[in-house]
């Protein structure tokens, strides 16, 4: 193949130049990195396990309210919410009995039980309720890992939502979520990923999250994340037994119940976990007993993969530079031979 | 030979005749109708049925994957393993076209084709593994540059095209399309460089996929240098795979490559393998501690298995001059390394996350259909390689 060295260098330089030029649309890369700041109008949920009586009204309301267009469980042509039989023989299908979060269940209340289970919110010989759902990370791993941008974070209220029409179904979000939240429609030939979307469709109409609206005890309250955090801190400062006005449905509500504070574990779950979440939790027993992992890093996870991605264009640059230089050196002799 | 002009018309028939002319490989003595070929064809047919079943009834019906185990055998073996097995191509191509090490030219075509099938295997498997296979092209147009998976998808497509370009001269010279051939030759060096960059990135980005799961992947495997460990082990695998395939084709086809080439590949395994061993031990000491694999757990055992089979044993064997001088013994070393690196990929994908996943009540063992599809994929790659060996000038004689 007769192709002169000079011509070759031209071709490579041209290709490299085109590459760098095509890289210019990637210039706003720096901005592409996910924010680690709480959105200005961020809303969320404070779940206080010591107030929860396990009535599951939140679960029922969640299913009904999300089975409408725009809701996180909506499926075209389905009228009744997707009830789960929960492997119970007597269940005729109208009694919703999910055992875990699933493609049909975005929000679940579970029971912790130990020994004779006599006292609420006690680790030994006690019991406690707890609620699992998406915690709406400030820097969500699912948003950062999705190859097609099917997960998004609302720039205003910070709700992490899902666009099925983009999803390819690779389940990287399931792997990446440190809390194990996203669920898959395994039995569908055209599956979607399901998780709580903080009732984004209701928030657009000025409504609160359905679970908070349904909660009769104030265990689940909705509001601005900043205010929820302050509310949580106030509760942690209470002495056990001290009377406190617990707001119902929303933080700062005019409706409240008065009751003595439980003995809280000195931790607001979701302040630091994975760089902070918009849903936060309080509990009377340690969160690890409730199945919430304690080895979740206290920083935003997307930075781990960003450290790698930010080097990608440099690899092309160095390979083409070093490759061209090497090619010149290794093919010099041959050219001279060809000329002589 | 059948004259295709009788069935396909003059123009198409002539092209088919040229393609199906196996005189280029007559000296290799490749027989197509063998029991092994029949087994492979049945496996491919079975896998095709499974693929159809999976597309119609969904992943839940075809596999044992679940919400706790989103990724299983198809990702761990077909994708992570298949891509690692293809790492030899960019090194050989780089050595021949950029470093100008002409002695490896005789194995360049075969190792590039080998990689092409490795990547094809990965591409088909991931298409079936994603739930919405028909829109698997979404990442290519819906860029999401925070995502390693997006980088992986883009690279997979680009590198598959690059490998096809690098392999195309074999087909073009058979068809006698001189102008296209000249065109490909003109861009060859650029394509090789592009392939080197893509491979470096692709091999490492498969490891980078796991950077986001510090809480899930066992510290035996998780560390912030995981992408570079994936790259190093892929290089080791690449040398072994090329060496394995060179010795194997030398055995089954009547064709022989100078021992010098195989010795060079063995040297590659030694250099990269030694580096990889030190790297792995360094990260072990930095992370969970040197004694962590010896705690009697399943993870510890799998780590020891992977390192013993794939790194320590091959290096010890290669330290013996009698092994380095013997084709058959080097063949055994290659097999050890290949298995070792495959174990590594399965460990990261399956055994390394098992403790976390089962803590949430998930259980996973690949279903029969997952196994069948994987076996069918391997058969497809082997048979495809064999067909190419028969009909294309895959092993140009060293000058």
Per the model's pLDDT, the better-predicted residue between B101 and B397 turns out to be: B101
Domain membership of residue A270 (yes or no) is yes
Judged by CB atoms closer than 8 Å, whether chains meet at A169 and B130 is answered as: yes
pLDDT the model gives residue A175: 95
Domain membership of residue A142 (yes or no) is yes
B-chain residues near A183 (CB < 8 A): 67
pLDDT the model gives residue A1: 43
Most A CBs within 10 A among B64, B80, B96, B98, hence the mutation to make, goes to B98
Judged by CB atoms closer than 8 Å, whether chains meet at B129 and A170 is answered as: yes
Asked if residues B356 and B215 have their Cβ atoms less than 8 Å apart, the reply is: yes
Mean of per-residue pLDDT scores for chain B:
91
A-chain residues near B60 (CB < 8 A): 186-188
Q: How far is B236 from chain A (nearest CA, A)?
A: 20
Q: How far is B141 from chain A (nearest CA, A)?
A: 8
**How far, CA to CA in Å, does B116 sit from each of A100, B77, B91, B110?**
42, 17, 14, 10
Task: Answer whether residue B343 shows pLDDT above 50.
Answer: yes
> What CATH number did the domain enclosing A301 receive?
3.30.70.20
In the predicted model, what is the mean pLDDT of residues B235-259? Answer: 90
DSSP string for B40-86: HHHHHHHHHHHHHHHHHH-HHHH---BTTB-S-HIIIIIIIIHHHHT
Helix (H) or strand (E) holding A235: helix A225-236
Domain membership of residue A319 (yes or no) is no
Question: Which residues 50-79 of chain B have a CB within 8 Å of chain A?
Answer: 55-61, 65-68, 70-71
| Residue of B104, B112, B109 lying closest to B263 (CA atoms) | B104
pLDDT the model gives residue B59: 94
Domain membership of residue A313 (yes or no) is no
Most B CBs within 10 A among A32, A170, A302, hence the mutation to make, goes to A170
Q: What is the extent of the structural domain holding A160?
A: 43-84+101-305
Domain membership of residue A230 (yes or no) is yes
Minimal Cβ distance to A304: which of B94, B136, B214: B214
For residue A111, what are the β-bridge partners? A129
pLDDT the model gives residue B213: 94
pLDDT the model gives residue A32: 61
Minimal Cβ distance to A168: which of B135, B185, B214: B135
**Phi, psi angle pair for A76, to nearest 5°:** -60, 135
pLDDT the model gives residue B12: 82
A312-330 and A5-23 helices cross at what angle (nearest 10)? 180
Judged by CB atoms closer than 8 Å, whether chains meet at B150 and A148 is answered as: yes
Domain membership of residue A324 (yes or no) is no
Judged by CB atoms closer than 8 Å, whether chains meet at B144 and A149 is answered as: yes
pLDDT the model gives residue B371: 96
Q: Which two tokens stand for residue A145?
A: 């890992």
Domain membership of residue A8 (yes or no) is no
In the predicted model, what is the mean pLDDT of residues B199-222? Answer: 94
For residue B190, give the chain A residue with the closest CA. Answer: A12
Judged by CB atoms closer than 8 Å, whether chains meet at A148 and B138 is answered as: yes
Which residues lie closer than 8 Å to B335 by C-beta, 6 or more apart?
A: B240, B244
Number of domains in chain A: 1
d(C-alpha A283, C-alpha A270), whole Å: 12
Task: Answer whether residue B158 shows pLDDT above 80.
Answer: yes
Question: Which residues 128-187 of chain B have a CB within 8 Å of chain A?
Answer: 129-133, 135-136, 138-139, 142-153, 182, 185-187
B-chain residues near A329 (CB < 8 A): none
Could you read off the pLDDT of B310-323 as tens digits, one per residue?
999 999 999 999 99
Q: pLDDT of chain A along its 340 residues, tens only?
A: 445 556 655 665 565 555 555 544 454 454 466 888 999 899 999 999 999 999 999 999 999 999 999 999 998 888 888 998 888 887 777 788 999 999 999 999 999 999 999 999 999 999 999 999 999 999 999 999 999 999 999 999 999 999 999 999 999 999 999 999 999 999 999 999 999 999 999 999 999 999 999 999 999 999 999 999 999 999 999 999 999 999 999 999 999 999 999 999 999 999 999 999 999 999 999 999 998 887 899 999 999 999 899 888 888 999 999 999 999 988 886 555 544 3
pLDDT the model gives residue A25: 44
Which residues lie closer than 8 Å to B291 by C-beta, 6 or more apart?
A: none
**How far, CA to CA in Å, does B170 sit from each of A198, A228, B174, B247, B250?**
57, 67, 7, 21, 20
d(C-alpha A99, C-alpha A108), whole Å: 8
Minimal Cβ distance to B189: which of A180, A291, A327: A327
d(C-alpha B354, C-alpha B347), whole Å: 9
Domain membership of residue A190 (yes or no) is yes
Minimal Cβ distance to B67: which of A145, A183, A312: A183
d(C-alpha A120, C-alpha A220), whole Å: 17
d(C-alpha A135, C-alpha A68), whole Å: 22
- What letter would DSSP give residue B134? G
B-chain residues near A178 (CB < 8 A): 213, 215-216
Per the model's pLDDT, the better-predicted residue between B10 and B246 turns out to be: B246
d(C-alpha A163, C-alpha A197), whole Å: 11
pLDDT the model gives residue B11: 81
Which residues lie closer than 8 Å to A260 by C-beta, 6 or more apart?
A: A240, A241, A242, A243, A244
Asked if residues B74 and B50 have their Cβ atoms less than 8 Å apart, the reply is: no
Domains contained in chain B, CATH given: 36-68+367-381 (no CATH), 69-357 (1.20.1630.10)
pLDDT the model gives residue B251: 85
Task: Answer whether residue B150 shows pLDDT above 80.
Answer: yes
In the predicted model, what is the mean pLDDT of residues B271-281? Answer: 96
For residue B129, give the chain A residue with the closest CA. Answer: A170
Using DSSP, state whether B397 is helix, strand or coil.
coil
Whole-structure pTM value: 0.90
Whether B254 contacts chain A with CB within 8 A: no
- Among A90-94, A169-173, B74-78, B292-296, whose mean pLDDT is lowest? A90-94
Q: How far is A255 from chain B (nearest CA, A)?
A: 38
pLDDT the model gives residue B160: 93
| Residue of B194, B313, B240 lying closest to B85 (CA atoms) | B240
């Amino acid at each position: 193949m007769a192709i002169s060295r000079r011509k070759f260098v031209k071709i490579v330089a041209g290709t490299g130049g085109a590459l760098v030029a095509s890289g210019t649309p990637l210039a706003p890369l720096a901005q592409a990195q996910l924010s680690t700041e709480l959105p200005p109008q961020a809303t969320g949920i404070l779940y206080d396990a010591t107030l929860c009586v396990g009535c599951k009204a939140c679960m029922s309301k969640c299913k009904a309210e999300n089975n409408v267009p725009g809701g996180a469980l909506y499926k075209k042509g389905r009228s009744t919410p997707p009830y789960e039989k929960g492997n119970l023989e007597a269940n005729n299908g109208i009694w919703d009995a999910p055992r875990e979060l699933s493609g049909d269940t975005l929000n679940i209340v579970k029971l912790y039980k130990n020994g004779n289970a006599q006292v609420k919110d006690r680790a030994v010989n006690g019991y406690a309720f707890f609620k699992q759902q998406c915690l709406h990370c400030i820097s969500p791993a699912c948003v950062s890992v999705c190859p097609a941008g099917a997960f998004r974070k609302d720039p205003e209220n910070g709700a992490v939502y899902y666009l099925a029409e983009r999803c390819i179904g690779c389940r990287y979000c399931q792997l990446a979520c440190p809390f194990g939240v996203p669920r898959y429609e395994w039995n569908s030939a055209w599956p979607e990923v399901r998780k709580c979307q903080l009732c984004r469709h209701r928030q657009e109409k000025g409504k609160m999250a359905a679970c908070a609206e349904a909660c009769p005890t104030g265990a689940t309250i909705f509001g601005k994340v900043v205010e929820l955090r302050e509310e949580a801190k106030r509760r942690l400062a209470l002495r056990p037994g001290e009377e406190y006005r617990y707001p119902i449905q929303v933080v700062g509500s005019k409706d409240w119940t008065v009751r003595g504070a439980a003995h809280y574990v000195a931790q607001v779950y979701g302040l630091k976990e994975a760089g902070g979440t918009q849903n936060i939790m309080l509990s009377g027993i340690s969160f690890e007993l409730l199945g919430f992992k304690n080895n979740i890093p206290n920083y935003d996870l997307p930075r781990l993969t960003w450290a790698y991605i930010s080097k990608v264009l440099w690899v092309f640059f160095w390979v083409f530079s070093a490759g061209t230089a090497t090619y010149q050196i290794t093919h010099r002799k041959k050219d001279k031979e060809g000329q002589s | 030979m059948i004259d295709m002009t009788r069935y396909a018309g003059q123009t198409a028939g002539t092209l088919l005749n040229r393609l199906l002319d196996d005189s280029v490989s007559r000296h290799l003595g490749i027989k197509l109708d063998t029991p092994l070929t029949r087994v492979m064809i049945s496996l491919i047919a079975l896998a095709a049925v499974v693929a159809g079943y999976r597309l119609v009834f969904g992943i839940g019906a075809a596999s044992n994957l679940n919400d706790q185990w989103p990724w299983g055998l198809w990702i761990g073996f077909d994708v992570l393993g298949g891509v690692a097995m293809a790492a030899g191509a960019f090194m050989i191509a780089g050595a021949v076209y950029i470093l100008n090490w002409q002695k490896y030219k005789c194995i360049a075509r075969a190792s590039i084709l080998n990689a092409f099938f490795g990547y094809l295997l990965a591409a088909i498997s991931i298409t079936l593994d994603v739930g919405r296979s028909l829109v698997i092209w979404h990442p290519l147009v819906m860029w999401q540059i925070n995502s390693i998976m997006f980088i992986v998808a883009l690279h997979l497509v680009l590198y598959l095209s690059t490998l096809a370009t690098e392999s195309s001269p074999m087909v073009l010279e058979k068809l006698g399309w001189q102008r296209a051939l000249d065109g490909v030759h003109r861009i060859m060096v650029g394509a090789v460089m592009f392939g080197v960059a893509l491979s470096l990135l692709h091999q490492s980005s498969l490891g980078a996929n796991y950077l986001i799961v510090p809480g899930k992947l066992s510290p035996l495997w998780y560390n912030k240098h995981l992408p570079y460990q994936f790259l190093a082990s892929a290089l080791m695998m690449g040398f072994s795979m090329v060496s394995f395939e060179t010795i194997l084709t030398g055995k089954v086809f009547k064709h022989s490559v100078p021992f010098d080439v195989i010795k060079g590949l063995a040297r590659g395994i030694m250099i990269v393998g030694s580096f990889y061993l030190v790297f792995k031990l360094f990260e072990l000491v930095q992370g969970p501690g040197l004694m962590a694999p010896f705690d009697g757990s399943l993870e510890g055992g799998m780590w020891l298995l992977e390192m013993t089979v794939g790194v320590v044993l091959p290096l010890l064997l290669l330290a013996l001059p009698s092994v380095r001088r013997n084709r058959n013994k080097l063949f055994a070393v290659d097999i050890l390394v290949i298995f070792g690196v495959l174990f590594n990929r399965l460990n990261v994908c399956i055994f390394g996350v098992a403790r976390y996943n089962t803590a949430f009540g998930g259980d996973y063992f690949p279903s029969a259909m997952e196994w069948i599809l994987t076996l069918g994929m391997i058969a497809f790659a082997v048979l495809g390689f064999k067909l190419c060996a028969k009909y294309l000038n895959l092993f140009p004689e060293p000058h």
